[in-house]
């Protein structure tokens, strides 16, 4: 995640030393933004389909690699590359569901088969990515950003863009869920799939659209993660996956607003913790939060009856 | 038939359980006599299923107490209540599909030393010996339920009616003092209703107390000696079916959502 | 005494076959019997390997760059036992958090998270097990007494591992055939109903979890005794996956099925392909392709033959009915 700067003597524009805690909160917002993008995709898909997609980390990775290939590999403009990659991942997610997952959901297979299958899919995808692009670290050939001082925060322009994109996406998702028929259908399916199906909602179509959205958001999250971590490698999405889980479970699985809230809490908490503990152990903080949630309130902050 | 007050095996006192703002059970009290063949009836939404879940320990009682066979079982976990002798079945048949019919019966029987890890690994003879007893017992039970020929079939391959019989047979192997049956006749064809009813009467005569949650009032009238009527989360009335049919409160409660006047539920 | 190289290749395969068998039986207890989804099974093997290593290694020598805790130089079989105990203990702790929830995905998520955390921790906290470089120079079990040359020892180790495997087979079989095994399967089929019939489902699941993890620990201990070194490279998610594939392709709930799956996937696929001429394919690419095929094989197996090649055996019981000759004999005993 974001680089730790605690050992440097940081000063703001007027020369006064910067306080570490607000600084970490700033980084925390960046992490929270990436997390929010990723968590939304996962939680929306879970809400509608009622099972966890363990290949989601691989979706993030694939999205990032696609952007890299299209922009750095084929010289397409970066923003255009992001859009193309996100659309591709959306389609990919739909296809993956149809080809890999659908035979099991149609049969009414036990939940654990589905989970193992998505787990298997993640392995296949990880190795496919490695086979195509090799196991070495990749970077984006983007111009180096300069740090910007924004009050107590110290962020690069890319990080600010990531935060901005996250905010835009969150608002867009909110509008989707509250203003559009599709969004309302998604909420209905998430709340009560049986009732939704008898109310005339086209389950097939909504499921397909949800998967598309899931893949789309995964790609955007993947690229956001790759940009904020400077370099990336085929397994990096998987390493981030359990932190996404922590955010999703904290917020309440299947709850998009919960996911946003969870992302904020986990993002800020992990970065602020880096003030006191070594940076490599940031994941432990997310894990600790996950454990505490599961022990005390497994349904999360915003609970759905019957889901947890 | 002893009145509940004299020798109740099950006493529910002021049970409450709310889901958020919905008070599913709202001050329910009743008693069941030892050896009774009782029923709990009531229109949809009366709180019967919630009451069953609270009695069996699957849900907590948020107020009030439950006494079973001389012990206060309020707050006990389900497996402890079951071992005490209160066995409940579920509304939809939930057989152990990946196990044979015979295994379904063997697994519910209590006191199997082979279930302890040490015995399983180092003293298998103990488990085998108890299994021999249980097998002969289970085969008898299967015979009476006319499921003997299916003993080595996987339970998931049974027909709906056979699964119903299996539910009851399996529950009997658990050596219950009280059997709490959640809608045993739901979706069952009339011939099978008859058979199930006769099995229940036979087992009751052997000493098992029964509490049936039922919508089929004709069966209730035929085999039950004591009926508790629930409505809006409370006990409305108790007594024999014939008297209850004449009780105006009961009739009103049912007119809202059930069919009290007609012969069948 | 130097035997033809093919003997040593077979010996290596045999060792891996036995070790993977033990590992997969552990997962079979967790998933095949009790239905527990452990997506980080390899972490428990790793802990077993590390703990066995630090119990059998002498105290760390400063200046070598290899740092680790303990270093008690204990003889066989104590480090191996400690490996199993440590893995079992970790399984116990994880179970306490994860097994109270009945939903499979939560358990899977927690195990995945635990794996990630421990991996990061072990890699970064170098004082524990020498970080990303891992421990090296682990002494060969028993060899301090009998002092065989390296080649003979390889053959000897096959015997050691085989003995442990047979022991594991014996106990796993007993467990599966026992009433406890039956109860585990009931908990797997429908935990709520099992609970309603008096089974303490949490305790049953914990038992399966701890036992399975202990098996993984012992397997890890045997592995580190053979390879002499262990580092985080040896435990990736892909490794957990191989074990799942062995279990599901071979047949979950079936002990012999596990051996078959092990033979097919570990011996033929994983280890066998090591001996393939690489030609135009880099070893890295071969490994990647291999993983993809295993992943695909797993999905296809679940799709078309979910019970595996050798399905869980149907249990029959000797008929002892009242009045039958068997009953007379049984009654008399």
Give Cβ neighbours of residue B63 (< 8 Å, ≥ 6 apart). Answer: B14, B15, B16
d(CA A90, CA A66): 12
C79 falls within a domain = yes
Strand partners, A148: A155
Window from A179-188, B26-35, C42-51, C273-282 with minimum mean pLDDT: C273-282
C311 falls within a domain = no
B-C Cβ pairs (cutoff 8 Å, strict): 116
How far apart, in Å, are the Cα atoms of C146 and each of A163, C108, C143? Answer: 65, 44, 5
- Min Cα–Cα distance to chain B from C323, Å: 11
Token pair belonging to B176:
């219950």
CA B178 to chain centre: 7
Q: Which pLDDT does position B260 carry in this prediction?
A: 52
- Min Cα–Cα distance to chain B from C88, Å: 15
Which residues of chain A make contact with C288, given a CB cutoff of 8 A? 127-128, 130-131
CA B13 to chain centre: 19
d(CA A246, CA A239): 12
How far apart, in Å, are the Cα atoms of A107 and each of A45, A103, A114, B43, B125? Answer: 19, 6, 11, 35, 42
Contact (CB<8Å) A284/C244: no
The rounded mean pLDDT for chain C is 85
C257 falls within a domain = no
Give Cβ neighbours of residue C131 (< 8 Å, ≥ 6 apart). Answer: C67, C122, C123, C124, C125
Count of domains forming chain C:
1
C65 falls within a domain = yes
Q: Which pLDDT does position C1 carry in this prediction?
A: 58
Q: List all chains that touch chain C, counting a touch as 3 or more CB pairs closer than 8 Å.
A: A, B
Cis peptide before C77 (omega within 30 of 0): yes
Q: Flag whether pLDDT at C26 surpasses 90.
A: yes
Nearest beta carbon to residue A113 from set C113, C124, C302: C302
Give Cβ neighbours of residue B221 (< 8 Å, ≥ 6 apart). Answer: B241, B242
Which residues of chain A make contact with C294, given a CB cutoff of 8 A? 123
Q: Using DSSP, state whether B169 is helix, strand or coil.
A: helix
| Closest chain B CA to residue C330 | B132
Give Cβ neighbours of residue C295 (< 8 Å, ≥ 6 apart). Answer: A120, A121, A123, A124, A127, C241, C245
C177 at B interface, C-beta within 8 A: yes
Which residues of chain C make contact with B102, given a CB cutoff of 8 A? 317
ipTM associated with this complex: 0.89
DSSP B154: B
Going by C-alpha positions, the residue among C325, C323, C318, C261 that lies closest to residue C294 is C261
d(CA C52, CA C68): 12
C265 falls within a domain = no
List, in sequence order, every beta strand (DSSP E) within chain C: none
Nearest beta carbon to residue C292 from set A124, A280, A308: A124
Q: Which pLDDT does position C196 carry in this prediction?
A: 94
CB C228 within 8 A of CB C150: no
Place of tokens 């040490």: B118
C84 falls within a domain = yes
Model pTM score: 0.88
d(CA B194, CA A257): 53
CB A140 within 8 A of CB A226: yes
- Min Cα–Cα distance to chain A from C252, Å: 12
> What is the tens place of the pLDDT at every residue in B170-190?
999 999 999 999 999 888 888
Domain containing C97 equals: 5-235
Q: β-strand B209-213 against B178-182: which pairing, if any? A: parallel
Q: List all chains that touch chain B, counting a touch as 3 or more CB pairs closer than 8 Å.
A: C
d(CA B10, CA B223): 19
Token pair belonging to C326:
């068997």
C39 falls within a domain = yes
Does residue B243 or residue B20 have the better pLDDT? B243
> What is the tens place of the pLDDT at every residue in C266-276?
877 766 666 66
A-C Cβ pairs (cutoff 8 Å, strict): 123
Contact (CB<8Å) C201/B79: yes
Q: Flag whether pLDDT at A168 surpasses 60.
A: yes
Q: Which pLDDT does position B20 carry in this prediction?
A: 78
The rounded mean pLDDT for chain B is 89
- Min Cα–Cα distance to chain C from A215, Å: 20
Q: Which pLDDT does position A148 carry in this prediction?
A: 76
- Min Cα–Cα distance to chain C from A33, Å: 21
Phi and psi at residue A152, to the nearest 5°: -80, 0
Going by C-alpha positions, the residue among A24, A7, A17, A9 that lies closest to residue A270 is A24
Which residues of chain B make contact with C207, given a CB cutoff of 8 A? 117
> What is the tens place of the pLDDT at every residue in B135-170?
999 999 999 999 999 999 999 999 988 999 999 999
| Closest chain C CA to residue A125 | C292
CB A225 within 8 A of CB A16: no
Which residues of chain A make contact with C289, given a CB cutoff of 8 A? 127, 131
C50 falls within a domain = yes
> What is the tens place of the pLDDT at every residue in C97-110?
888 765 778 888 88
Mean pLDDT of all residues in B220-249: 88
């Amino acid at each position: 995640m974001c680089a730790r700067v605690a050992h440097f003597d940081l000063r703001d524009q007027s020369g006064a030393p910067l306080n570490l805690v607000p600084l970490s909160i700033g980084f925390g917002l960046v992490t929270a933004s990436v997390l929010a993008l990723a968590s939304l995709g996962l939680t929306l898909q879970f809400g509608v389909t009622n099972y966890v997609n363990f290949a989601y980390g691989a979706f993030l990775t694939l999205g990032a690699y696609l952007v890299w290939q299209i922009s750095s590999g084929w010289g397409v403009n970066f923003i255009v590359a992001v859009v193309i990659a996100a659309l591709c991942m959306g389609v990919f997610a739909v296809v993956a569901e149809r080809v890999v997952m659908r035979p099991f959901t149609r049969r009414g297979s036990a939940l654990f088969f589905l989970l193992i299958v998505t787990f298997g899919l993640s392995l296949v995808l990880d190795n496919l990515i490695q086979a195509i692009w090799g196991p070495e670290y990749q970077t984006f050939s983007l111009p180096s950003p300069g740090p910007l001082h924004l009050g107590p925060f110290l962020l690069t322009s890319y990080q600010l863009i990531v935060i901005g994109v996250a905010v835009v996406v969150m608002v867009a998702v909110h509008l989707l869920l509250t203003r559009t028929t599709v969004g309302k259908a998604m909420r209905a399916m998430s709340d009560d799939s049986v009732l939704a199906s008898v109310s005339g909602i086209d389950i097939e179509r909504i499921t397909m659209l949800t998967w598309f959205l899931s893949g789309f958001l995964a790609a955007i999250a993947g690229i956001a993660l790759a940009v904020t971590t400077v370099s990336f490698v085929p397994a990096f999405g998987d390493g981030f996956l359990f932190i996404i889980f922590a955010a999703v479970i904290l917020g309440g699985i299947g709850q998009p607003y919960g996911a946003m809230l969870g992302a904020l809490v986990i993002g800020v908490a992990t970065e602020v913790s880096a003030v006191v503990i070594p940076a490599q152990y940031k994941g432990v903080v997310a894990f600790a939060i996950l454990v505490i949630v599961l022990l005390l309130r497994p349904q999360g902050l915003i609970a759905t009856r019957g889901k947890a | 038939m002893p009145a509940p007050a004299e020798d109740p095996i099950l006493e529910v006192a002021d049970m409450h359980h709310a889901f958020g703002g919905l008070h599913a059970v709202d001050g329910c009290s009743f008693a069941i006599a030892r050896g009774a063949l009782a029923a709990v009836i009531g229109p949809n939404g009366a709180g019967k299923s919630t009451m069953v879940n609270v009695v069996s320990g699957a849900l907590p009682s948020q107020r009030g107490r439950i006494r079973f066979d001389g012990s206060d079982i309020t707050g006990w976990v389900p497996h402890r209540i079951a071992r005490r002798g209160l066995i409940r079945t579920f509304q939809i048949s939930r057989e152990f599909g990946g196990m044979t019919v015979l295994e379904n019966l063997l697994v519910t029987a209590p006191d199997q030393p082979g279930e302890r890890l040490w015995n399983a690994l180092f003293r298998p003879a103990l488990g085998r010996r108890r299994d021999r007893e249980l097998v002969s017992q289970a085969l008898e039970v299967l015979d009476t339920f006319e499921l003997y020929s299916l003993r080595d079939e996987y339970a998931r391959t049974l027909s709906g009616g056979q699964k119903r019989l299996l539910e009851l047979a399996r529950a009997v192997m658990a050596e219950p003092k009280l059997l709490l049956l959640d809608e045993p006749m739901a979706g069952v064809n009339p011939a099978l209703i008859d058979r199930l009813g006769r099995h229940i009467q036979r087992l009751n005569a052997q000493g098992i107390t029964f509490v049936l949650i039922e919508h089929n009032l004709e069966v209730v009238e035929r085999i039950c000696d004591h009926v508790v009527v629930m409505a809006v989360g409370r006990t409305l009335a108790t007594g024999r079916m014939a008297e209850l049919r004449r009780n105006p409160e009961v009739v009103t409660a049912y007119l809202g959502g059930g069919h009290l006047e007609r012969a069948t539920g | 005494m130097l035997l033809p190289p093919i003997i040593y290749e077979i010996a290596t395969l045999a060792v891996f076959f036995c070790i993977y068998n033990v590992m997969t039986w552990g997962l079979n207890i967790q998933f095949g019997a009790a239905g527990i989804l452990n997506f980080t099974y390899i972490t428990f093997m790793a802990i077993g390997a590390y703990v066995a290593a630090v119990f059998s290694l002498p105290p760390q020598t400063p200046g070598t760059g290899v740092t680790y805790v303990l270093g008690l130089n204990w003889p066989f079989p104590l480090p191996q036992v400690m490996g199993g105990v440590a893995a079992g203990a970790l399984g116990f702790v994880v179970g306490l958090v994860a097994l109270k929830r009945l939903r499979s995905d939560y358990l899977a998520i927690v195990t995945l998270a635990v794996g990630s955390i421990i991996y990061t921790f072990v890699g970064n906290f170098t004082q524990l097990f020498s970080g990303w470089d891992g421990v090296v120079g682990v002494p060969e079990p028993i060899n301090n007494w009998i002092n065989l040359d390296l080649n003979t020892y390889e053959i000897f180790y096959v015997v050691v591992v085989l003995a442990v495997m047979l022991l594991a087979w014996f106990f796993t079989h007993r467990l599966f055939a026992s009433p406890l095994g039956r109860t585990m399967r009931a908990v797997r089929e429908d935990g709520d109903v099992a609970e309603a019939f008096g089974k303490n489902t949490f305790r049953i699941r914990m038992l399966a979890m701890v036992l399975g993890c202990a098996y993984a620990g012992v397997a890890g201990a045997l592995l580190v005794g053979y390879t002499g070194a262990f580092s985080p490279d040896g435990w990736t998610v892909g490794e957990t996956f191989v074990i799942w594939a062995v279990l599901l392709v071979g047949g979950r709930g079936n002990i012999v099925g596990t051996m078959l799956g092990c033979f097919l996937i570990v011996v033929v696929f994983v280890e066998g392909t090591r001996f393939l001429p690489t030609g135009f394919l880099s070893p890295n690419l071969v490994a990647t392709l291999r993983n993809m095929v295993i992943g695909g094989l797993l999905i296809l197996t679940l799709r078309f033959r979910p019970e595996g090649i050798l399905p869980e055996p149907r249990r029959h019981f000797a008929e002892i009915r009242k009045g039958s000759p068997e009953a007379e004999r049984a009654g008399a005993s």
